[in-house]
Structure 1
Amino acid sequence: MSQSEKVNKGSGEGKTQDMAIFSPPVVRSGAGALNRALFTKTVNLAAAAVNDNRLISKYRKELEHSKELLRQERLSPIVNHPDKTLADQGKKCLLLSPSVKAPEPDTWGTALKEGVEKKELDVIPYELKLDYDYWSYHDIITSILPEELHDDIPSGFNTAGHVAHMNLRERYIPYKKVIAELILDKTQNIRTVINKVDNVGAESEFRTFQYEVLAGPDDMQVQVTENNCVFEFDYAKVYWNSKLEAEHRRLINMFEPGEVVCDVMAGIGPFAVPAGKKGVFVWANDMNPESNKYMQVAINRNKVSQYVRPFCQDGRTFIHHAADSVLEAHKASEHVLIAPKPPSRAKKAPKPEPKRVDIPPTISHFVMNLPATAIEFLGCYRGVYAGHEDLFEGGKLMPMVHVHCFSFKADDETPRNDICERITKYLGFKVKPGNPDVEGEVAVHDVRDVAPAKRMFCASFRIPREAAFAKRD
């Protein structure tokens, strides 16, 4: 998984052998308490004691082939001899399948029988000790939760650096502490587990949320790496969603070096900063002062200040402002100089001149990643290039808008038709699903599920000339 995690279900599902004897003890607890000491178990097996360690590899292959070797997740079949004196001498054993019984030669296969006859093996009883560290999150939470809660055990969460962010359903709330402790124990690099206690944006226009700390310190200052860029921020004060990494990458791959992108709701810069690293000029805006602050941190940390310009304005105002600002930067001959690659080792090689890249006069892409309301901003594109029709002469394409939104989850055209109807309403121009390079047509990309009947989409289309060149209000 990228930054979005799913706790390992381990041997609770998909076992290589159907052996319930390796399941943890059932520890039902009405209080949802985690007592790690209760998770111990002795499994009685048979083992093939190898009298010469040089034969371990040979018999391991033979017993694997005959399916007599133990095949169990997270368990090595090679163990020390249970007799301490022999173990101190370096003697090893091969653990055998539960179907093999030490005192019952009729359960032994040919390889075992021949090894015993040759005095190269001894088949002996073996007590395998299992404890809390052996079992997975899913194993243990299944043994704790009552059976009526087994149908949809919480296992997925978002991550932001060392923080695991859960959104527990009401019926699992009594077990929230044990779930959180298990996540800490069973997930690498997680130090804090939180649970969302309201809907994102329900109490904040900046898409932040109220949370409770379930385990670990209340430390929300995190660092994450995405698309080869490092971001540092306070997760309690800005919006971040680890499930959007693939969507960020998808759009960034559409941007070409030397183009201008206007990121209207940029957050801390998951589109803007990697695009800048690619050599794309980005006018990046977010109305949340905290997001703007941490975006500037990311710009400096990732050394893209010559490409990415941060702003803190209302998105509706910013759309026209960015178009005007980019044109002014072009007229002022603003540019970047790209340092050339070092010359070859050949002596007296002439030093190449730096490459100059001028800021173009128009924006190639507008990104609007505010799925709850971004479509409502589309009317602001009316007049975005009023009086500048000449900038798009000679067949130059109009800017592409990528607007994220929510709609119904359905396998038919219902969500696409719904999105196009809403774009038509707010843009004031009739659109339909189709090729985004054709005026009046929209490409609708499925991004991800957000609820059982709700899905996030990204609608991409070129601004109609009629709208772009309309008189500004």
Structure 2
Amino acid sequence: MVDINAEGNDMSSLFRPPAISSAIGVLDRSLFSKTINLAAAAVADKKKISAWRQTLQRQGTLLTAERISSIVTHPDKTLAAQGTKCLLLDPKVKAEVPETWTSTIQDGVASKEIGIVPYTLSLDYDYWTHEDVMRSLLPPDLRDSHDGIPGGFNQAGHVAHMNLRDAFLPYKKLIAEVILDKNQAIKTVINKVANVGTESEFRTFAYEVLAGPDDLNVEVRENNCSFRFDYSKVYWNSKLEGEHRRLVDIFKPGEVVCDVMAGIGPFAIPAGKKGVFVWANDYNPESYRYMEENIKRNKVDQYVRPFNQDGRTFIREAADMVYTASVNGEYAVSGPSRRVKRSQHPNSNTADNSMPIPEPKREPVPPTISHFVMNLPATAITFLSHFRGVYAAREELFVPHTSTKLPLVHVHCFAAKADDDTPLIDICERISAEIGVEMKLGEAENAKEVSVLEVRNVAPNKLMFCASFRLPPEVAFAARV
């Protein structure tokens, strides 16, 4: 245990964890115990605690430290038993040195409203944050040469998934232990040992368990939906929750969305919940299986239809299937919400029998797809050539024959970082090469223009983007090969 006298120390050093020389991979939590000698104002009248706290805070003499309450029980056991409380004071105030007391404190002592007493503040391992602990355990030269400490991870349910740099691998068990300690929701920590897609075309990855049980069956809640899956068998990235929400917010109830690389359904299932028809496909049989289960779990099977095909084939087949479903008069039935049903139940206290329960409403499947989503950033752009002829001989379904526009395509992709528009222009050129029509950077609603949105950082020099564009007529209506 480290004993610190507050005299001569500023706040930053007082509340810094002890410097620890630890053997590689060894976490001795007892070494993080630390005591700090402070002064405290014992308030005689319990009713005046709040007033004195505000006064001392305004004067800057109240202790203000993260995760430490300024109100504590009296260090004297007898007084503590009587309920006497103390206010911890800033380290510059010394109990044994009245010269450090402000005039307000001196007046409070003189009037016997408060008394200044020594107080020993004890901190242990539980107090320090993950970053505090790692800064104490990892060698400074290692931190300095590798941009600080390895604290980031991708979380899927109870699993923390790390991608440690080689330099930190000797400390991997130590790092994992601290993550478990400092994140109550985490039960298992794994480290990726190969790049996504290196060993599997399904974007799964080889991993090693660093801490906790080898249990990757997880449950995740995202965008008001529940997903269960084996994290080792499918692709999931919680850092994409915002992107999932952004696109789902664009979709309108009653539209049809074709999710070409749907995974386990992070776009499809929330869209289905808002009444969007989704033809959702994934090439990975395990993703397809879990998507089926999650569609049922979230009760969106009227709106979301799962498929297990190669995306290239699925693009055209989905357009044909949607058209056939519409011609055949297929529909979803939407009834009143559970809240409305409960309010109209005869046994309900709020029942208004004069108000009839709304009849279920039929929502027909429209004949065309409004959006294609292609979330396979490594290769999705190469699938775009298969849009050629997707609506061959069906021009009458779209403008100018109807008010329906050709589908918006949202294709995710990677590109290098740059300080200008070079990556965005490069993405447009790659799209142009695949669909055979020159596309320029601009607004997706304008003919032959692409809007490109940055989604997230992937690596120091690599970004993920989403490129959106309206499918050009010369592509959609071209003759099928």
Q: TM-score, normalised by structure 2?
A: 0.92
Q: Which amino acid aligns with 2:372?
A: F
From 381, 394, 400, the counterpart of 2:402: 394
Partner of 2:463: 455
Q: How far is 1:62 from its partner?
A: 1.3
1:18 matched to 2:11: yes
Partner of 2:195: 199
3-state secondary structure, aligned to 1:156: coil
Question: For 2:201 and 2:304, how far apart are their aligned partners in 1?
Answer: 24
1:255 matched to 2:266: no
From 26, 42, 51, the counterpart of 1:49: 42
Q: Which amino acid aligns with 1:286?
A: D
Structure 1 residue runs of 5 or longer lacking an equivalent are 1-16
Q: How far is 1:76 from its partner?
A: 0.9
Q: How far is 1:408 from its partner?
A: 1.5
Q: How far is 1:51 from its partner?
A: 2.4
Q: Which amino acid aligns with 1:377?
A: F
Question: For 1:390 and 1:61, how far apart are their aligned partners in 2?
Answer: 73
Partner of 2:154: 158
* 1:404-424 residue CA offsets vs partner (Å, 9 max, x unmatched): 000111231101110011001
From 138, 142, 152, the counterpart of 2:131: 138
Q: Which moved more, 1:236-245 or 1:76-85?
A: 76-85
* 1:80-116 residue CA offsets vs partner (Å, 9 max, x unmatched): 2112222222222111111011111110012210111
1:67 matched to 2:60: yes
Question: For 1:464 and 1:67, how far apart are their aligned partners in 2?
Answer: 66
3-state secondary structure, aligned to 1:119: coil
Q: How far is 1:347 from its partner?
A: 3.4
Q: How far is 1:178 from its partner?
A: 1.3
Partner of 1:9: none
Question: For 1:57 and 1:386, how far apart are their aligned partners in 2?
Answer: 75
1:404 matched to 2:445: no
Q: How far is 1:19 from its partner?
A: 3.0
Question: For 2:443 and 2:87, how far apart are their aligned partners in 1?
Answer: 62
Partner of 1:382: 388
Partner of 1:320: 316
State how 1:135-284 maps to structure 2 within 5 Å: 135-151=128-144, 152-284=148-280
Q: How far is 1:55 from its partner?
A: 2.3
Q: Which amino acid aligns with 1:116?
A: V
Q: How far is 1:197 from its partner?
A: 0.8
3-state secondary structure, aligned to 1:296: helix
Question: For 1:339 and 1:122, how far apart are their aligned partners in 2?
Answer: 68
* 1:198-248 residue CA offsets vs partner (Å, 9 max, x unmatched): 111111000001111111111100000111100000000000000101101
Q: How far is 1:322 from its partner?
A: 0.3
Change (3 A) 1:350 1:27: closer
* 1:348-400 residue CA offsets vs partner (Å, 9 max, x unmatched): 54454322111111111000000000000000000111111111123531111
* 1:434-458 residue CA offsets vs partner (Å, 9 max, x unmatched): 1212221111111011011110000
From 112, 116, 133, the counterpart of 1:119: 112
Change (3 A) 1:262 1:45: same
Q: Which amino acid aligns with 1:267?
A: G
* 1:269-293 residue CA offsets vs partner (Å, 9 max, x unmatched): 0000000001000000000000001
Q: Which amino acid aligns with 1:276?
A: G
- Highest RCO, 1 vs 2 (Cα 8 Å, sep ≥ 6): 1
Q: Which amino acid aligns with 2:409?
A: V
Partner of 2:325: 329
Q: Which amino acid aligns with 2:26?
A: A
Question: For 2:71 and 2:133, how far apart are their aligned partners in 1?
Answer: 25
* 1:271-330 residue CA offsets vs partner (Å, 9 max, x unmatched): 000000010000000000000011011100000000000000000010111011111111
Question: For 2:317 and 2:402, how far apart are their aligned partners in 1?
Answer: 25
Question: For 1:223 and 1:83, how far apart are their aligned partners in 2?
Answer: 48
Q: How far is 1:122 from its partner?
A: 1.7
From 359, 365, 373, the counterpart of 1:359: 365
1:293 matched to 2:299: no
Superposed CA RMSD: 1.4
Structure 2 residue runs of 5 or longer lacking an equivalent are 1-9, 345-350
Question: For 2:26 and 2:308, how far apart are their aligned partners in 1?
Answer: 46
3-state secondary structure, aligned to 1:19: helix
Question: For 1:249 and 1:352, how far apart are their aligned partners in 2?
Answer: 30
Identity of aligned residues (%): 62
Q: Which amino acid aligns with 1:81?
A: H
Q: Answer yes or no: is the 8 Å Cα contact 1:405–1:456 preserved in 2.
A: yes
Question: For 2:77 and 2:19, how far apart are their aligned partners in 1?
Answer: 32
Q: Answer yes or no: is the 8 Å Cα contact 1:32–1:144 preserved in 2.
A: no
Number of residues of Structure 1 aligned to a counterpart in Structure 2: 457
Q: Answer yes or no: is the 8 Å Cα contact 1:78–1:92 preserved in 2.
A: yes
3-state secondary structure, aligned to 2:11: coil
Q: Which amino acid aligns with 1:388?
A: R
Question: For 2:180 and 2:456, how far apart are their aligned partners in 1?
Answer: 27
Partner of 1:4: none
From 410, 420, 424, the counterpart of 2:432: 424
3-state secondary structure, aligned to 2:302: coil
1:89 matched to 2:82: yes
Question: For 1:150 and 1:51, how far apart are their aligned partners in 2?
Answer: 49
Q: Answer yes or no: is the 8 Å Cα contact 1:50–1:92 preserved in 2.
A: yes
Q: TM-score, normalised by structure 1?
A: 0.94
Q: Answer yes or no: is the 8 Å Cα contact 1:102–1:124 preserved in 2.
A: yes
Q: Which amino acid aligns with 1:205?
A: E
Q: Answer yes or no: is the 8 Å Cα contact 2:409–2:469 preserved in 1.
A: yes
3-state secondary structure, aligned to 1:61: helix
Change (3 A) 1:468 1:97: same
3-state secondary structure, aligned to 1:321: helix
1:437 matched to 2:445: yes
3-state secondary structure, aligned to 2:389: coil
